[in-house]
Structure 1
Amino acid sequence: MKRSHRTRARRSALAVTAFLLVAVTACGDDGDEEPSLLDGTVHIGAAFDQPGFSLHANHTDRGFEVDLAAHLGKELGFTVRFQDVPTGRREQELDQGAATLVIATYSITPAREKEVDFVGPYLNTQQGFLVRKNYNKIKKEKDVQDKLICTVEGSTSARADLPPRTTIREEADFSTCVSKLQQGNVDAVFTDEALLYGYVEQQKRSKVPLKVVPDVAFGLTNRYGIGLQKGHTEDCEKLLAAVRDYLNEEWANDIKTQLPALVDTYPGDWQNRFKPDTGDLNTYSSCKAPE
């Protein structure tokens, strides 16, 4: 009886071991598929201090990129939760999983595409100069020589090829640059033209109103994309479809609502300047629309 009991025990142990091996193997097969990033609450890295695009203050979120994120959440069935992400840490936040997506005037560039995937563009813009409204010493490109220009570390503007003898001061965020501009500590703020119009609108009733220098631009067109961790092809494709819908359905109304100074500056032409063609999505996104 004892021997039979031990035999049954050994057989039971072998059966359990075999079951566990099958289960582990099955789990391993499922684990080859990347889990979706777009379930439940999605943490979106944003720039909290960019009026017109992404301004988070007094428990209120508003701006063009806030509207875009809301559209994505509604379309794809997730809850949006914003968190502030410094410009220079966007790639690290995605790589470490601290942010699920980054929607923060994040230009698609070859260098960044080596570290993260992109969906976009959802807006195109050249780079320009923000100055005090009564300041008229910059009227053409070469006038920025011998001027002190403020921009943000880690941005595409910080790496732009400005004329010789231009002095660049890099700050952690554009709000700091704008404050220094209004205080007279710098001559201009240099970044994407579309972004500058948010500050024009925000400061139009302040003691030191601002303007974007007309017809003065540098560098290539910047194309804003949604950043996500590499390798999530299905999520990328879902976002791509949702951004295409956004461009067709809600983009124009949200720009008019959130960036009225931009619209007023280019009446009749603002969509040609700033709205991407939906065909650009397949060109610049890390994934392509399914056939």
Structure 2
Amino acid sequence: MAALLLVTVTACGPSGGSDQKSLLHERVFIGGKTDQPGFNLHAAHTDRGLEVDLANYLGKEIGFKSKFHDVISAKREQELKDGTSDLVIATYSITPDRKEQVDFVGPYLVTGQGFLIREKYKGIKTEKDVAGKIICTVEGSTSAVAQLPRGTILHIEPDYSSCVDKLQGGAVQAVFTDEALLYGFVEQYKNSKHPLKVAPGITSGLINRYGIGLPKGHTADCKKLLRALRTYLTEEWAADVKVQLQALVHAYPGDWENRFRPDPEDLNRYSSCET
């Protein structure tokens, strides 16, 4: 009986590791932000964007079908801890604090941070101009804890589409988050009454590296995802970015790959496993 108990504890103990049941079963539930154009936008019963393309590629390589559901920034760790999501692919930046709670595979995109403004707005030309302005960002994001100029009035929303609605309505002067993400909204609103742009030449906050989040301890799954991601970055990443993030490519002709494609060495440096 003692020997049987020891075997049970070893297989199910907190160290987990490759003994844990695989997450990559026939249907994989993925927490995503389904209101982010360019990355994952759910419309007309269809998900479209770079993260959808990535999930479909991983599924093809590993052997699963992905099912996205919406998750807000502040709940991503909890989604993985309580099993609501098998994976999170949601412009999810890899940080030391987050890696204490969940594991990551990535990055699959690297980006600085910037400010989204109305195309005709002249009030923000340098980072110092942000002082005294109402700037919208999202709870649970790296942007919400970034150091902005003293006097900046931070307005917090649960998601970036709400921030962009506030910007369109004139309630805030800018939206602050990852530059790559902002260009998705530039593309979405290019023919609107109030077209948007990323304030040129202004960067602030962190360099963010987007990763695939998974619960702690699934080493075998981590390695499978990492191998597939390496192939994706070589074979299909550039073509998918050209299709899904057209405004970003247009903003940096000839240089967008250097700016936003991860260094291959970063995958071992930032992932929770190595291959």
Confirm or deny a common fold (TM above 0.5): yes
- Quote the residue 1:10 is aligned against: none
Matched, 1:163 2:158: no
- Quote the residue 1:9 is aligned against: none
Secondary structure in structure 1 of the residue aligned to 2:69 = strand
- Quote the residue 2:8 is aligned against: 28
**Matched residues in 1 for 2:235 and 2:4: separation?**
46
Q: 2:83 aligns with which of 97, 110, 121?
A: 97
Q: 1:256 aligns with which of 236, 242, 252?
A: 242
Identical-residue share of aligned pairs (%): 63
Q: 2:138 aligns with which of 138, 147, 152?
A: 152
Which blocks of at least 5 consecutive residues in structure 2 are unaligned? 13-18
**Matched residues in 1 for 2:159 and 2:89: separation?**
16
Matched, 1:140 2:126: yes
TM-score normalised according to structure 1 size:
0.90
Matched, 1:279 2:259: no
- Quote the residue 1:58 is aligned against: 44
**Matched residues in 2 for 1:260 and 1:37: separation?**
33
- Quote the residue 2:15 is aligned against: none
Deviation of 1:29 (Å): 8.4
Aligned ranges 1:184-199 → 2 under 5 Å:
184-199=170-185
When Rg is computed on C-alpha atoms for both structures, the one with the higher figure is: 1
Q: Deviations over 1:129-167 (max 9, x none)?
A: 000010011111111011000000110000000000000
Deviation of 1:220 (Å): 2.2
Secondary structure in structure 1 of the residue aligned to 2:263 = coil
Deviation of 1:31 (Å): 3.6
TM-score normalised according to structure 2 size:
0.95
**Matched residues in 2 for 1:22 and 1:255: separation?**
56
- Quote the residue 2:208 is aligned against: 222
Secondary structure in structure 1 of the residue aligned to 2:148 = coil
Q: Aligned pair count?
A: 269
- Quote the residue 1:6 is aligned against: none
Could you list the runs of 4 or more consecutive aligned residues of structure 1 that deviate by over 2 angstroms after TM superposition? 21-32
Q: Structure 1 residues 31-40 or 173-182, which shifts more?
A: 31-40
Aligned ranges 1:231-270 → 2 under 5 Å:
231-270=217-256
Q: Deviations over 1:248-281 (max 9, x none)?
A: 0000000000000000000000000000011110
RMSD: 1.6
Deviation of 1:57 (Å): 1.6
Which blocks of at least 5 consecutive residues in structure 1 are unaligned? 1-20
Matched, 1:181 2:161: no
Secondary structure in structure 2 of the residue aligned to 1:201 = helix
- Quote the residue 1:82 is aligned against: 68
